[in-house]
A and B are shown apart, each in its own frame.
Chain A
Amino acid sequence: MKVLRRVRDIRTVSALLTRAEQESLAAGVLDPGAEHLVLASLEMPDGTARTAFAALGHTADGLRAALADNAADALAAVGVIGAPPMATSGPGPDSPAPHGPYRSKGSLQDLLTATRHVANGRHEPLMSAHVLMAAADLADGTLARALTRLGVDPAALSAAAQASAQAGVEPGSR
């Protein structure tokens, strides 16, 4: 059972990383960060992160818009006005799966490590909702600022993600 779970977790991580890179490239950013991992989690087929985020009244498009608005504000604060806005549409359905060496920002690596710890600590197979539980602990950075802009309460996000993960666990898969 443990071997099966490990194989499944590896596939989940691979899907998350692939989608995170597609998200960052669609925004024109070469290396994905924690914010792209969260956007990826909201598109995973298990649906647990999407369900939790929707329970709080939010969507992936809303998070993309908050990230773009924060970036525009941060540029304006140092006098950069009129820069092309960050894309908020996300990757297209025929976006190719990237190949070759994987590049990412440290914030993505830290969030992925925290996500694995959360899943292991709960003795659950890795699910997209675990990304949100780990993200809820971030106090600073691009992702935390975007969640604050959306009015997401970290405790509520963590609780919604826990409930969604609990509902998403298949019997006997722990």
Chain B
Amino acid sequence: MADPLSFPSPDDPEAALASVVALRDLADRLEAEAVVQAIAQGWPWSRVAECLGISKQGAHKKFIHLLAERGGRS
């Protein structure tokens, strides 16, 4: 079993901030892969947006470059 999530030591803010950035990037990657899969499965942008809690226009604008890079529909 993996170690439980933990907060880094307050004595090392540099390491803590590096972890924050890595967590943000990981969330970015998870979000990106999920959206690519959803669109590939034929989801409408309105459903993707609803799941993410953002506007349809905002979702389209945010992921359009990624989909172009992955060869998906836009």
A interface residues, Cβ below 8 angstroms from B:
21-22, 25-31, 70-72, 74-75, 77-84, 86, 91, 95-96, 98-101, 103, 140, 142, 145
- B5: nearest residue on chain A (CB-CB)? A79
Contact A28 B32 (CB under 8 A): yes
Mark interface residues in B17-31 (1 if CB within 8 Å of A CB, else 0): 011011101101101
- Tell me if B50 is interfacial: C-beta within 8 Å of chain A: no
B residues whose Cβ falls under 8 Å from a Cβ of A: 2-8, 14-15, 18-19, 21-23, 25-26, 28-29, 31-33, 61-66, 68-69
Contacts of B25 in A (CB 8 A): 29, 71, 86
Q: What are 20 inter-chain pairs, A to B, with CB distance below 8 A?
A: A27-B29, A30-B28, A30-B31, A30-B62, A30-B65, A30-B66, A70-B18, A71-B22, A74-B19, A77-B8, A78-B5, A79-B2, A79-B4, A80-B23, A86-B29, A98-B65, A99-B65, A100-B61, A101-B61, A140-B14
Residues of A within 8 A of B14 (CB): 140
